[in-house]
Amino acid sequence: MGVLKNKFHEVSGPVAQEVKSLIKEHGNLELGTYTIDQAYGGMKEIKALVTETSLLDSVEGIRFRGYTIPELSEKLPKAEGCTEPLPEGLFYLMLTNELPSHHDVEHISNTWARRSIVPHHVFKTLDVLPKTTHPMTQFSIAVMALQTESIFAKKYRDGISKKDYWDPMFEDSMNLIARLPRIAAYIYRRTYHNDKHIEPDPNLDWAANFAHMLGFDNPSFKSLMRLYMTIHADHEGGNVSAHSTHLVGSALSDAYLSFTAGMNGLAGPLHGLANQEVIRWVMQMQNEIGSKSPSEEQIADYIHKTLTEGKVVPGYGHAVLRKTDPRFTAQMEFAKKYCPDDELVNTVWRIYKVAPPILESTGKIKNPWPNVDAHSGSLLVHYGLVEYDFYTVLFGVSRALGVLTSLCWDRALGYGIERPKSVTTEWIKSYIAAKQPKV
């Protein structure tokens, strides 16, 4: 068994026992109550999922295994000369619940580099798609084409004991994470750079190699990719990409099938696609106003116009958060260090000043503050990655770290098939009638 797989087995075994006895002894304890409003309104705040890798506080933001983003920034190993954490380290932390050493992250980088070969038929599948196919659609199709490689699917077909499910899920997850940067870079280069592909460099860490294959060898872009891949990796279990991966995985669908489901959810404009929508919206504003550097007043007018037209202001609001997303702040700190005078970055900062009070004044938007997507595109544009339709693919590559770690935990803890109860509006009406006081 590999070092990391051994470690995961060693760590997850006792947790599985603990969960078993916890359910046995306290399974009947109520976790909360919920309302008709929540049943219609996307099940917000209903505590009905258990996800080990991270926990989201509405005010403080995300904690990965108990650590905030600034704490991770300090504690996770870094590449030489780089100020940003290596995403390999976050993966190790989420998987094992322990902070990794330099040696641990090096081991993961090497393992992923070794496993990164993508079978030729995946590229051939992509090659038949029109180049106008949205990059997220290409990404999903490529991962589906890669499903031929699923070790879990083969083992299940041959007959495998339930207690061993976690093992091929771990192998599939490691292989998939290793191959995603290659697939994503291939999509980018075929779509925007005339099929001029760039060979991987196995000596680079996972994020730096991704940057290299995309065609960006600037050291600070590599730093940005390490930061980007770390902060987008996970946001507890209820968001659309994490939940759909978990839901589909609960049917014992393998990592490829489950992850693709998550990516199709990430491709929605209210979730991950918001990162492309932000830049599209800012550019439309610049065009309409006729200035690359719109004033606060002009931005305010444009926000009002967007709201009047019945559209959302992309990059603002959140289903859980009620403060500025710490992932936005982490990117803002990066920008202050590397590109404080960038025109687009400064426009994003000006929007940050202007948008919250306007959104708040509507009286209905629960969170007027920016989320992760409000900042990411401006940094990518700064380095020349201007093809914003591609941005959600970057999010997707990072999100694999969190949702696939969770799938490994789902299998290690023996979680069952997900099957909440649904009712009809007629049922709800009868329920309300039955609850009315008798007169």
H helix and E strand count, the chain: 20, 2
Active site annotation includes 201: no
Q: Which stretch binds ligand CMX (CB under 6 A): 9-17, 204-212, 309-317, 431-439?
A: 309-317
Single residue of 100, 135, 314, 396 touching ligand CMX by CB under 6 A? 314
From 243, 318, 375, 382, active-site residue: 318
From 232, 243, 271, 375, active-site residue: 271
> Cα–Cα–Cα angle for 213, 117, 390, nearest 5°?
40
Give the residue ranges of DSSP H helices in 41-193.
69-75, 87-96, 102-114, 120-127, 135-145, 151-158, 166-192
Single residue of 198, 365, 413, 418 touching ligand CMX by CB under 6 A? 365
Q: How many residues does the chain have?
A: 439
Q: Does 318 bind ligand CMX (CB under 6 A)?
A: yes
- In terms of CB distance, is 100 or 402 closer to ligand CMX? 402
Q: Which stretch binds ligand CMX (CB under 6 A): 58-66, 117-125, 210-218, 268-276?
A: 268-276
Residue 63, helix vs strand vs coil? strand
Single residue of 366, 387, 389, 413 touching ligand CMX by CB under 6 A? 366
- In terms of CB distance, is 61 or 317 closer to ligand CMX? 317
CB of residue 277 to ligand CMX, shortest distance in Å: 7
Determine the Cα–Cα distance for residues 267 and 381; give it in Å rounded to an integer: 20
Q: What residues have CB less than 8 Å from 264, skipping those under 6 apart?
A: 140, 244
Nearest-10 crossing angle of helices 255-266, 166-192:
50
Single residue of 69, 79, 282, 313 touching ligand CMX by CB under 6 A? 313
Single residue of 84, 234, 254, 373 touching ligand CMX by CB under 6 A? 373
Active site annotation includes 134: no
Q: Does 317 bind ligand CMX (CB under 6 A)?
A: yes
Question: Which residue, judged by CB position, is nearest to ligand CMX in the bound state?
Answer: 317
Which helix (H) or strand (E) covers residue 55, if one does? strand 54-57
Active site annotation includes 212: no
Single residue of 89, 262, 294, 315 touching ligand CMX by CB under 6 A? 315
Residue 354, helix vs strand vs coil? helix
Q: Does 319 bind ligand CMX (CB under 6 A)?
A: yes
Instruction: List the structure tokens of 175.
Output: 């292989």
On the 0-12 / 13-18 / 19+ scale of CB atoms within 10 A, 110 is: middle
Name the DSSP letter for residue 364.
Answer: -
CB of residue 416 to ligand CMX, shortest distance in Å: 27
Interface residues with ligand CMX (CB under 6 A)?
A: 239, 270-272, 274, 307, 312-319, 364-367, 371-373
Catalytic residues: 271, 318, 373
